[in-house]
Amino acid sequence: MVTLEMTQALSELNQANYQAVMKFIRYLLSTQSKPETSVVDISKRFGISQGKLQVPDDIDFCNDEIADLFGVK
């Protein structure tokens, strides 16, 4: 059913939009076939702010204040 709807939608596009959609589809298909190799090598990082930053134990301590700033609550 989806294939029929997609085929119909593609057939109704003008040439420029059809080419753009096909280029996007080719891109999506090419990214699916590549294996996940997103390992980050952190051995060469250097810490220019090492020891200068303080991270609180509870990062959610001011959620209510932030919600008020955005008008959410």
Note the pLDDT tens digit of each residue in 23-33: 998 888 887 76
| Percentage with pLDDT > 90 across the chain | 22
Q: What is the mean pLDDT of the chain?
A: 83
Confidence label for 73 from pLDDT (cuts 50, 70 and 90): low
Domain assignment present for 18: yes
∠ CA 40-45-48, rounded to 5°: 140
Considering the domain boundaries, does residue 49 fall inside one?
A: no
- Residue 42 maps to a domain: no
CA distance 65 to 73: 10
Q: Which domain holds residue 8?
A: 1-28
13 within 8 A of 21, measured Cβ to Cβ: yes
Residue 34 in any domain: the answer is no
Q: What is the pLDDT of residue 34?
A: 64
Residue 45 lies in a domain: no
What is the total count of domains within the chain?
1
pLDDT of res. 35: 66
Average pLDDT for 36-63? 78
